[in-house]
Structure formats: structure tokens, C-alpha cells
């Protein structure tokens, strides 16, 4: 009997990660301008893509909040996909 249904553990873990990560993505958007630490959770959830983005922005001297938020969202979505694929693979073994 083959298990072709979607692995529940992978769905739960990637879903929980996505909820917390999107919450950290919204936090800098609603924070007051003087709250400089509002994006720390976003950086943690978007690793390693946040580190690569910092390197690219330093090299190209880009300073755009909107572009950074889009790249961090892409990093979060990519991390969610990676979490789902890894745990789906483990649960099928």
C-alpha cells in the first residue's frame, strides 16, 4: 500500500512556520518609525536569504525598504517550501 497522500506533519510544520514568519513580516510594516528592532524576527525567519540580500545591497549600494520586504517575503516562501519538501521526504521514508 503506497502512501500518496500529503504528509500531515510536513503540512503542519510548514504551516506553523508560515504563520509565524508572515507575522514577523507584517511587524515592520505596522511598527512605529522609532522601533528599530521590529525587523529582527523577519531577518531570523528569512535566513539565509536575508544574509545574501545584505551582501547584494552592500555591493550594489541599494537602499529600498519596499524591495527588501519583497525579497524577505520571497525568502520566507522559499523556506516554507524547503521545510515542506524536507519533512515530506522524511515522512515518506
pLDDT, one tens digit per residue, over 53-92 is 999 999 999 889 899 999 999 999 999 999 999 999 998 8
- The answer to the question of residue 2 being in a domain is no
pLDDT, one tens digit per residue, over 13-55 is 999 999 999 999 999 888 887 777 888 899 999 999 999 999 9
- The answer to the question of residue 1 being in a domain is no
- Looking at the structure of the chain, the number of domains it has is 1
1 confidence band (pLDDT: 50, 70, 90): very low
* Rounded Cα gap, residues 53 and 31, in angstroms: 22
- The answer to the question of residue 32 being in a domain is yes
- The answer to the question of residue 48 being in a domain is yes
pTM of the model: 0.84
Per the CB < 8 A criterion, the answer to whether 68 and 57 are in contact is yes
Domain that holds residue 83: 8-92
- The answer to the question of residue 36 being in a domain is yes
- The answer to the question of residue 31 being in a domain is yes
* Rounded Cα gap, residues 23 and 3, in angstroms: 33
* Rounded Cα gap, residues 8 and 6, in angstroms: 6
Distance, C-alpha 59 to centroid of its chain: 23
- The answer to the question of residue 37 being in a domain is yes
- The answer to the question of residue 24 being in a domain is yes
Amino acid at each position: 500500500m503506497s502512501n500518496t497522500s500529503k504528509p500531515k506533519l510536513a503540512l503542519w510544520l510548514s504551516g506553523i512556520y508560515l504563520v509565524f514568519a508572515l507575522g514577523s513580516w507584517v511587524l515592520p510594516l505596522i511598527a512605529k518609525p522609532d522601533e528599530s528592532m521590529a525587523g529582527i524576527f523577519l531577518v531570523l525567519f528569512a535566513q539565509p536569504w536575508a544574509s545574501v540580500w545584505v551582501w547584494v545591497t552592500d555591493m550594489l549600494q541599494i537602499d529600498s525598504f519596499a524591495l527588501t520586504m519583497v525579497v524577505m517575503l520571497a525568502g520566507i516562501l522559499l523556506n516554507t517550501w524547503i521545510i515542506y519538501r524536507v519533512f515530506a521526504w522524511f515522512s515518506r521514508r
